Amino acid sequence: MIDHMAPSGGAMQLIGALLEQRTGQQIAANRAWRIETALKPVLRERGLPSLDALVGQLLGARSGELADQVVDVLLNQETSFFRDVAVLDQIAAAAVATQAAIGNRRLRIWSAGCSTGQEPLSLAMLFDEKADAFPMPPEIVATDVSAAALARARAGRYSQFEIQRGLPVRRMVQWFDTEGGDWVARQELVRRVQFRQQNLTADVPPPGKFDIILCRNVMLYFSLPLRRQVFDRLATAIQPGGLLVLGAGETVIGLTEHFTPSEAFRGFYRTADAESAPVAAAG
Amino acid sequence: MKTCLVVDDSKVIRKVARHILETLDFEVREAGDGREALDSCLAATPDVVLLDWNMPVMSGMDFLRALKNSGLEKRPKVVFCTTENGMAYIRAAIEAGADEYVMKPFDRETLESKLQIVGVA
């Protein structure tokens, strides 16, 4: 039975510290209630009466399996198909312009912090609709820190609630099948995305340079010093003149010299070292 | 202010939809079946129709066909909103001219998202 007494401040602090240590994400003081709400299913599953008891198990655990589970449920995995559709349309336009500038080289895109996969799958659908603009389909690499989120992304399986949020019905019918009440992306769509586990705050980026990096609604959970480090890391993974796309409330301003606002694509950033780079010339 | 005609034989569904739509700044009209809905459209065309499938007197599909043949100068956007969640139903609705499809049960976010997709929210 779950004990409804308020958890000790120490338990909340330790759990918050575990999340930050593993992922860089911070839980703001006014969102601390999320810890209790999100961890209730874990307490139930493990027969633990309270967060204090959970912390006791975490401290005494011999493997990291419990810590992995705790971190996974605390991560904010909010996402949807075609989230901020105007931004997605602008990304597609930027991809077409960039492809025109780089000739026959395959365009490469990194969806960093892809959660359960809706963003990279939305991109794959958009690029399919603009197939004439690309000599070969753009390479889409999608990463997330959460193994559980990536497992869902690779399976391409979504609930009725998830599939209806943002996904136009014609695209749904074209790319998804029904299976036991869920909607499952066809393999021909899922295969267009390479899903990999990666911690933005600790791991090296996926190999090679990317023409466009999407890192939307991720930085806002990081401390300012950590944001600077992550921008430095993203800068090592982007082509000269490449484009960086952040979430609506996020900015590079005051945090990095590597990126400056793009003149051609409002709200996007491009590398600062790209006077004559092909992508900068395109946009 | 955009107008939405909610067509459903369930008063409860109409009430729930009205509540959500009003919070999205829609002016809401209601109809209990396809025939009432058609009369309402002919009297004043709404921007969008939220349409149930199974209703007495005239079904959602029959309404859609009648709307097509009504000679209305500007057809409203039509969003099916139904418990018929199978692929065959969805394909049939698209072929008949529906612009979007909401599978019940729905919530505010789903409805808002679909209304944005058809360009009325």
DSSP string over chain B: --EEEEE-S-HHHHHHHHHHHHHTT-EEEEESSHHHHHHHHHHS--SEEEE-SS-SSS-HHHHHHHHHTTT-SSPPEEEEEES--SHHHHHHHHHTT-SEEEESS--HHHHHHHHHHTT--
Q: Are residue A91 and residue A63 in the same domain, yes or no?
A: no
CATH number for the domain including A18? 1.10.155
% pLDDT > 90, chain A: 73
Q: Is residue A261 part of a domain?
A: yes
In a domain, A181, yes or no: yes
Could you tell me the pLDDT band of residue A11, with boundaries at 50, 70 and 90? confident
If we measure between CA atoms, which residue out of A29, A86, A34, A31 comes closest to residue A216? A86
Domain extent, residue A173, equals 85-282
pLDDT band at B55 (very low <50, low <70, confident <90, very high): very high
pLDDT in tens, B20-29: 999 999 999 9
Region A264-282: mean pLDDT is: 73
User: Is a pLDDT exceeding 50 seen at residue A231?
Assistant: yes
The tens digit of pLDDT for each residue in A159-174 reads 999 999 999 999 999 9
Q: What is the pLDDT of residue A135?
A: 96
Closest CA–CA distance from residue A115 to any residue of chain B (Å): 19
**Shortest alpha-carbon distance between residue A178 and chain B (Å):** 7
Domain termination site, one of A47, A74, A101: A74
The tens digit of pLDDT for each residue in A13-27 reads 889 999 998 898 888
Record: contact B110-A85, CB cut-off 8 A: no
Give the structural domain span for B29.
3-117
Asked if A165 reaches chain B (Cβ–Cβ under 8 Å), the answer is yes
User: What is the reported pLDDT for A10?
Assistant: 81
Residue A160 lies in a domain: yes
Domain boundary residue, one of A25, A52, A74: A74
User: Would A2 be classed as within a structural domain?
Assistant: no
Give chain A's mean pLDDT. 91
Q: Find the residue in B nearest to A176 (Cα).
A: B87
Residue A3 domain-assigned? no
Measured between CA atoms, the residue of chain A closest to residue B88 is A173
CATH number of domain containing A172: 3.40.50.150
Residues belonging to chain B with any Cβ–Cβ distance to chain A shorter than 8 Å: 85-87, 90-91, 94, 98, 100-103, 106-107, 109-110, 113-114, 116-117
Q: Measuring CA to CA, how many Å separate B65 from each of A40, A82, A230, B92?
A: 50, 31, 55, 12
- At B69-95, the pLDDT tens digits run 998 989 999 999 999 999 999 999 999
Provide long-range contacts, Cβ within 8 A and 24+ apart, for A157-162: A157/A182, A157/A183, A157/A184, A157/A185, A158/A116, A158/A118, A158/A182, A158/A183, A158/A184, A158/A185, A159/A183, A160/B85, A160/B103, A161/B107, A161/B110, A162/A80, A162/A81, A162/A116, A162/A118
Residues from chain B contacting residue A178 (CB–CB below 8 Å) = 85-87
The SS3 of residue A61 is: coil
Average pLDDT over residues B55-67: 96
Q: Does residue A251 lie within any of the structural domains?
A: yes
Note whether A116 and A201 are same-domain residues.
Answer: yes
Domain count of chain B? Answer: 1
B50-79 average pLDDT score: 95
Domains: count for chain A:
2
Give B63 to chain A, closest Cα distance, Å.
Answer: 20
Residue ranges of alpha helices (H) inside chain A are 9-23, 33-46, 51-60, 65-74, 85-102, 118-129, 147-155, 160-164, 169-175, 187-190, 224-236, 278-282
- pLDDT: is A44 or A5 the higher one? A44
A219 and A131 fall within a common domain: yes
Amino acid at A218: V
Position A150 pLDDT exceeds 50: yes
B20: phi then psi, degrees, rounded to nearest 5: -65, -45
Q: Is the pLDDT of residue A190 over 50?
A: yes
CA distance A168 to chain B (A): 7
**Over 50: is that where the pLDDT of B39 sits?**
yes
Contact yes or no for B113 and A170 at CB 8 A: no
- In this structure, the answer to whether residues A182 and A69 fall within a common structural domain is no
The pTM of the full predicted model, rounded to 2 decimals, is 0.89
Domain C-terminal end among A34, A50, A74: A74
Identify the residue among B94, B101, B108 best suited for mutation to test binding to A, counting A beta carbons within 10 A and taking the highest: B101
Backbone angles phi, psi at B87, to 5 degrees: -60, -40
CATH number, position B43: 3.40.50.2300
**pLDDT confidence band for A276 (50 / 70 / 90):** very low
Single-letter amino acid code for the residue at A21 = Q
**B113/A80 touch (CB, cutoff 8 Å), yes or no:** yes
Give the mean pLDDT of A246-263.
94
Mean per-residue pLDDT, A182-195: 97
> Is A19 in the same domain as A89?
no
- Partner-chain contact A164 B110, CB within 8 Å: yes
A12: closest CA of chain B, how far (Å): 31
Question: Which pLDDT value is given to residue A112?
Answer: 98
Q: Quick check: A7 pLDDT over 80? A: no
Mean pLDDT of A103-118: 97
Could you tell me if A99 and A165 lie in one domain? yes
Between A186 and A56, whose confidence is greater? A186
**A124-138: per-residue pLDDT in tens?**
999 999 999 999 999
